[in-house]
Structure 1
Amino acid sequence: MAADSDMEKTEDPTSKKLSEAAEKGNIARSQDLGTALVLLGSSLGILIYGTELAEATLQVCRRLLSLNQKDVQDPTMMSAASYAAIAAVTPAFLKLCLVILIAGFVGNTLLGGFNFTWYGASFRPDKLSPLAGIKRMFSVNSLIELVKGVLKVAVVSGSAYLLLKLFFDDIMALSLMTSPDDIAASVYLLCWMFFGLCASTLLIAAIDAPYQKWRHIQQMKMTKQEVKDEYKNSEGNPEIKGRIRGLQIQMSRRRMMQAVPTADVVVTNPTHYAVALKYEHGKQRAPVVVAKGVDQMALYIRQIAEANKVPIIRSPALARSVYHTTELDHPIPEQLFSAVAQVLAYVFQLKVYRRGKGQKPKALAKDLPIPEGFRH
């Protein structure tokens, strides 16, 4: 049962799998959304720039239809007329094309975003497989596409019927008009009816776009084993990472043990905590923690300090405070300057006394000045 569970695609796709699929052109796309926005953009473009385009076309027709036989036989006149016709129609036509281009770009990138790849255009033998084609023909997706096709016909046909019913009186009134008012009115009605039919396709797109998004996620779903394998490949094998961490900890401990003999003092708890401090006057702004540890590590630090005759000072509160507030190889915080300064002053005086060059220092105060927020 556990093996079957691992083989079932129940996990959401990872960002890595989605990005790899996008590189191959496999992203969520809705053809109905793109088609709907292209049609809607075309109808809007005609409504906005249709009058300008119609007037330009009318001027061209008038100019070309007014040419006489002499003009037709004159190559210069015909060339000038052709250039004039193109110059008159081109601005409005380019504006209409720009609107359609923008609508097409938005429609095809609104779902899934912009994605360009040569993978989809590359030759692959599986594209020529008859068996794969038959499977696609009789798949569930083909059935859904058939239902969508029937729905499109129903929606567009219903919209056309409603539009004809809505504009029926206006259409019948065209027979009572005279030219050119009847032509202008008929074009106006056609534009609005075309816009209504195009807008009806948005209903299909509103259904298809979420479905395509959901379908893409379902196709990209992964098994639990695939998720585990991807994590291992991207993040590294947990066992190997654990071993590396262990080696790093060992190396860090080894460096600490090598730094203990160079310390000026080791402050202890006395059994659970130990921190080794070093201060070089003129080179360091504050004493630095060169080693620290608890329990067994604290015992090692004390043993090395004793073997190398590094002074060991018993100050439980200061040892805990330094251990919890200062990282290895970092200076102590300013709030502990006063307490550590007293410890270092006592140690330096004790060294001078042992050399026979000074008086025996007074015993170190039991309650060192440690701020309340730094007590642990």
Structure 2
Amino acid sequence: MGDKTEKATPKRRRDERKKGNVLLVQDVIAVATLIGSVMMIRVLFPTYVEKLQGMFRYTYSYLGLMAEGVAIEEFLGEIVVQGAIIFVQTAGLMLAITVLMAVSATFAQTRLLVTGELLKPKFNRISPAQGIKRIFSLRSIVEALKGLLKISILLYLIYTSVEELVRVSGNFLYTALPEACGYLLEAIFFMLLKVILAFAALAGFDFLYQWWDHERKMKMSKQEIKEEYKQTEGDPQVKGKIKEIQRKMAQARMMQQVPQADVIIRNPTHYAIALAYKPGQDAAPKVLAKGQDELAMRIVQKAEECEIPTIENVPLAHALYDTAELYQEIPPALYGPVAEVLVYVFKLANKLPG
């Protein structure tokens, strides 16, 4: 098929999109969900703490009943229901935001593409040869290096954050518990923020790489472009033959109109125009046929066979060929010159009084 050096055509992109072959970077989705989760924790953490405290107080309120000898089975169902409600209000909301961010990041990249093409079984996916090829492909090497880089960055950020906490941990002996917990939470939040920034940078570079790789795979050879053109526009040779047939049919219909003409105005060898005019019926003379070179000679020969007068008038022939449309009335600018010719022809044919 030749080297694939040409950019993908719009049709190729539409076809690949229908197959689900679009640019989709998983790291972008991961960073989006991480951002959504961390922001939710940051904003709603006080609410989470309040709800958990309420759950603990609610649970402890039943301890007195147990001390009075009430069996735990009698109120265990209420505790489970209340716990489920708290779980939905905290973890459920977090899960909903995470799913929303993941779906938004996916649709933003695929432009709302929904297709089941990728779910269809393909035997090349279970082919050992194809599997080995994928393992040792450039993409697999890049993914492996990217995974090592992410792990290295994550371990480094955790190590530096924990090291900072260890250095200041001695101060916690002289700090109230709420303040110490608040400091720890802030430290954890900033550590997560650093992770997000680092992973976002990696996702940006990964997006550029995968975009380049996607465009490289989408490229087409010149032969593929020619084949696509044949499929969409038709074979140029076939189209040329069709146009030739249509042209000959149009000429044949036009030649059938020549016997109805009243006069042929011609340039001696290049142009011929057949005109017809019925006084009292037509508003102006009409063009029944016109042609150039070989077609002009055919019109003149047909007119001679039908004994139709032929007038040589070079300027008028040029003007009629350039401005008058086939089967239409002549332009008003040519009424005068054409009228002179028709009067002369009609007088010769005794169609007008002398």
TM-score higher than 0.5 here?
A: yes
- Correspondence for 1:18 among 13, 22, 26: 13
Which amino acid is the alignment partner of residue 290 of structure 2?
Answer: K
Q: 2:269 aligns with which of 264, 268, 271?
A: 271
In structure 2, how many angstroms separate the alpha carbons of the residues matched to 1:168 and 1:59?
Answer: 32
Report Cα offsets for 1:317-374 as digits up to 9, x if no partner. 4433443345544555xxx314236524752685367336513xxxxxxxxxxxxxxx
Q: Distance in 2 between matches of 1:289 and 1:74?
A: 106
Structure 1 residues 205 and 356: alpha-carbon distance in aligned structure 2, compared to 1, 3 A threshold: closer
- Structure 2, unmatched stretches of 5+, are none
| Distance across 1 between alignment mates of 2:303 and 2:65 | 117
Correspondence for 1:131: 129
Contact residue 352 and residue 358 of structure 1 kept, 8 A: yes
Q: Equivalent of 2:3, from 5, 8, 13? A: 8
2:198 equivalent to 1:200: yes
**Alpha carbons 1:263, 1:290 under 8 Å: kept:** yes
* Number of the residue aligned with 2:252: 254
Q: Alignment partner for residue 41 of structure 1, among 27, 36, 48?
A: 36
Conserved 8 A contact 2:347-2:353? yes
| Residues matched between the structures, number | 351
Alignment of 1:335-350 (within 5 A): 336-340=331-335, 343-344=338-339, 347=342, 350=345
CA shift in 2, pair 1:339/1:139, >3 Å: closer
Letter paired with 1:146: A
1:284 CA drift (Å): 7.5
8 A contact 2:19–2:115 mirrored in 1: yes
2:290 partner SS: strand
Measured after TM superposition, the shift of residue 205 of structure 1 is 1.1
Q: Which of 305-314 and 229-238 deviates more? A: 305-314
SS in 2 for 1:120: helix
Partner of 1:371: none
Q: Which amino acid aligns with 1:191?
A: F
Task: Name the residue aligned to 2:154.
Answer: 156
Letter in 1 for 2:40: G
Shift of 1:296: 1.6
SS of alignment partner, residue 180 of structure 1: helix
283-292 vs 214-223, which moves further: 283-292
In structure 2, the residue matched to 1:298 is: 296
Tell me what 1:56 maps to: 51
Q: Give me the TM-score of the superposition, normalised by structure 1.
A: 0.76
Given residue 62 of structure 1, which amino acid in structure 2 is its aligned partner?
R
- Check conservation: 2:287, 2:324, Cα contact below 8 A: yes
Q: Give 2:26's match in structure 1, choosing from 31, 53, 61.
A: 31
Supply the distance in 1 between the matched residues of 2:99 and 2:262 (Cα, whole angstroms). 76
Aligned residue for 2:118, secondary structure, equals: coil
CA offsets, 1:122-180, max 9 Å, x none? 22332222232223223333222222122222333344456567888887765543233
Q: Percent identity?
A: 29
Structure 1 residues 237 and 70: CA distance shift in structure 2, 3 A: same
SS at match of 1:275: strand
* Partner residue in 2 for 1:142: 140
TM-score, with normalisation over the residues of structure 2? 0.80
Name the CA shift for 1:138/1:315 in 2 (closer, same or farther; >3 Å). Answer: same
TM-fit CA distance, 1:275: 3.0
